[in-house]
Structures are given as structure tokens and as C-alpha cells.
Amino acid sequence: MQVFKLYLKLFRSYIPSSMIYLVVFFSIAIPLSKAGSEQLSFKESSVRLAVFDEDNSAASRKLIENIDLKNDVTDIANDHDTIMDALYYTTINYVITIKKGYEDILKDPSSTGDDIASVIDTMYLSENYSVTMMEQYLDEYIHSVRGYIAGGATLDTAISSTEDELSCDIDVTYETFSKDSSAESDFTESMAYFFRYLPYVFISILINALAPILLTFNKKDQNNRIRCSSLSSTSFSSQLFAGTGVIVFAVWAIFMIGSMVMNRGILNGVAWIAVLNSFLFALISATIALLVSAFKPSESVINMITQIIALGMCFLCGVFVPQSVLGDGVLAAAKFLPAYWYTRANDTLCGMNTFDIGEIWMCIGVEFGFLILLVITTMTVNKIMSNTGRSKASGRAVG
């Protein structure tokens, strides 16, 4: 088992570079998975704003009180430079100035929208969610008060009725569109985020770790020594295969243990399909590493090749950017890459797509087809490169 032991010994020298990807993955994937799960909880947003009351009336004070109920009203100096600095540094997002005459125009049934606009001045740097939300609130508040006044109510009654309307709480319930509710609980959104980014880290770690080792065994001097030894080619290939298998399984197992730690227990139900899906992609990544090494590139360019393959495949296939926002042309091209089918199965498992167990197994089947194709391609390239090397050697011998 000398070759097997040497394989693992060489791998130990590449552990530090592999650990970089491991640490970066967990430092990024864990916060992202938490962020993904938090998207399923509703929290009403508030706006940071400043309000200047130049009217100083009962109606203007009531308006400020209502705004302050669900927003963060900040006290700042009422001068242009201070306001612009606060907006620029996002200390506040919105400024309201209630001008003199606000109450008189508000309680006048004959006043128009332009009259109201003339006594309420707003300021902000750019259109955004906070600005839109505050403008909508002001519009609803003023229209409601004026509606009650037009119906014969006094100003105090109109303001009180408007407060009751706008203070109503709405219960928000998130519903998923999975056909199988148990599938959703077995494979949560946070777990889906963790599994989503595995293609990048598998490709990066396995190519950077396996390709240099295989290149070492394929070096001319090393290869000649092996051929001259008593070790048969079958035993040599078997030990290389065993070494590769141990490394692939170890890398995959580390991430599966990490997923269980994040899940705070053993995985259940359809989550095991995600585990199978990830193991299949780990094998695909290892086969890609074998294919890269078959072309015998320089060790100095292996990292560049790794990033081109990993980043290119992950951006095209919906690992970094959800498939739902990718264009039809990009998705059509991505279907020729295994990461597309991995991601599609992962999204279907967590309910991002309509849950369909048949589609999930179809995606896994396509990935298995890619694995077989990559194995055949690697064997073909190895044979061609070997024959080319022999031809060059025989040519030099004849010369």
C-alpha cells in the first residue's frame, strides 16, 4: 500500500490551502443560511425621519404623534446643512416640514390637494422603500382626515377616527407552496442555503487538492520508477482510486457533519435526498479534478483553472444567483452543466420550486449521467495523452 500511503501523505501538504476554502465557506454559509431563514419572519419596518412643526397646532402635533408611533423621529437642527448631512450619512431617511396654516387648510372642506401640498414639505435624497412607505402613510392619513371632515365630522373626530383606522394590526402568515408539508420541515430554508453553496467549495477543494497529487504521480521520473518496480499497474491504479475515494469521502463527510451541527441533530426525511445529491456532486467534482489532471497542466495554473471552473459554473447554474432571476438564455446554457441540476434539485427540496419528488430524482439521474460522461471523457483523455507520450518517446528513440 505504498502508493496509497504516499497519496495521503501528499494530501496532507495540501490541507492548509484546502482549509482556507473550508473556513471561508462556513464563515459565509452560516450567516447566509440564517439570513435565508429570517426571510420567513415578518417584521414591520420603521423610518428614521425628522419632523419640523412650524404650524404648532393641535392637528400638526397629532400628526407628529401618529408618525412617531411606528417610526423613529429624530431631533436635529432646522438648518439646510445639518439636514443635508443627516440625509447623506443616512442618520435620517426623510424630512417633513409642517408649514404654517396646516390645521386651517386641513379642516377646510373646500381645500384642495394642492392646498395641502403647499403646507407639507418633504425632503429626501433618493427614492427608496422608506420614502415610498412614508409618503403612502402621509397620503392615507390626510385623505382619511379630509374624508371624515367632508362627511361633516369635526377635526378632532376626524383625526380620532383616522387614528383608529391606521392603528389596525394585520396578521401576516407566510405560506409555502410545497405539496408535501413534511418535506418543508425536513429540509428547511436555512439548510437549503447551506447545501446550495457546496458545489463551489467541492470543486475548489477537490481540484486544488487532487490535481497536484495526480500530477506528481504522472511525472516522467516518478512514472518510470513505478513501471520499473514490482507493483502491477492494476495495484497502482487501485491504490490511486482508494486514495482519491478516501479524500473525497472525508471532505464530503466534514460538510455533512457541519450540516447536522447547523440542524442541531440528525437529518430527517427528504433531507437525506439532499445528502445523496451532495455526495453525487462531490464525486462529480472529483472526476472534474481527474479530468483536469489528465491534461497535465502546470501546477502554477491549477488554481486559476479551478476558479474559472468553479466560479463560471456556479454563476451560470444558479448557485450564487437564484435560478429564478437568471435569463432564459443563461438557463438554457446552464442545463449542459451538472451544477444546474444539483441546484434545481436543492431548490425543489426546500420548496423554492413546486415540490415534486419525481423531478428531484430526475435531476439526480441527470447528475449521474454527467458523472458517467466525465469518467468516460477522463479515461479517453488519459489514453490519448498516454499514447501521445509514447509516440514522442519512440520518436526520440528512433532519432
Is residue 175 in a domain?
A: no
Are residues 25 and 84 both part of a single domain? Answer: no
Q: Average of pLDDT values for 302-323?
A: 90
Q: What is the pLDDT of residues 213-239, one digit of tens each?
A: 888 887 777 767 766 777 677 787 788
Is residue 307 in a domain?
A: yes
How many domains are contained in the chain? 2
Are residues 232 and 321 both part of a single domain? Answer: yes
Whether the pLDDT of residue 181 is over 70: the answer is no
User: Residue 176: phi, psi to the nearest 5?
Assistant: -95, 160
Give the structural domain span for 333: 2-35+188-398
Are residues 88 and 210 both part of a single domain? Answer: no
CA dihedral 33, 36, 42, 48 (to 10 degrees): 90
Is residue 180 in a domain?
A: no
Alpha helices, DSSP H only, in 71-188?
80-88, 102-106, 113-119, 129-150, 155-166, 181-186
Cell numbers at 128, concatenated: 427608496
Are residues 67 and 25 both part of a single domain? Answer: no
Are residues 159 and 299 both part of a single domain? Answer: no
Residue-averaged pLDDT of the chain: 83
Amino acid letter for position 336: F
Q: Between 163 and 29, where is the model more confident?
A: 163
Are residues 111 and 229 both part of a single domain? Answer: no
Alpha helices, DSSP H only, in 318-356?
328-334, 338-350
Length, in residues, of the chain: 399
Whether 339 and 309 have beta carbons less than 8 Å apart is answered as no
Whether the pLDDT of residue 37 is over 60: the answer is no
Report pLDDT for 283. 95
Whether the pLDDT of residue 34 is over 70: the answer is no
Dihedral sign from CA coordinates of 116, 120, 121, 122: negative
Whether 337 and 317 have beta carbons less than 8 Å apart is answered as yes
Q: Specify the pTM.
A: 0.63
Whether 381 and 295 have beta carbons less than 8 Å apart is answered as yes
DSSP state of 179: S
Are residues 378 and 250 both part of a single domain? Answer: yes
C-alpha 106: how far from its chain's center? 49
The residues pairing with 50 across neighbouring beta strands, listed in sequence order, are 95
Whether the pLDDT of residue 398 is over 70: the answer is no
Are residues 194 and 161 both part of a single domain? Answer: no
Whether the pLDDT of residue 40 is over 60: the answer is no
Are residues 262 and 197 both part of a single domain? Answer: yes
* Integer Cα distance of 156 and 150 in angstroms: 13
Are residues 17 and 58 both part of a single domain? Answer: no
Is residue 321 in a domain?
A: yes
Are residues 56 and 20 both part of a single domain? Answer: no
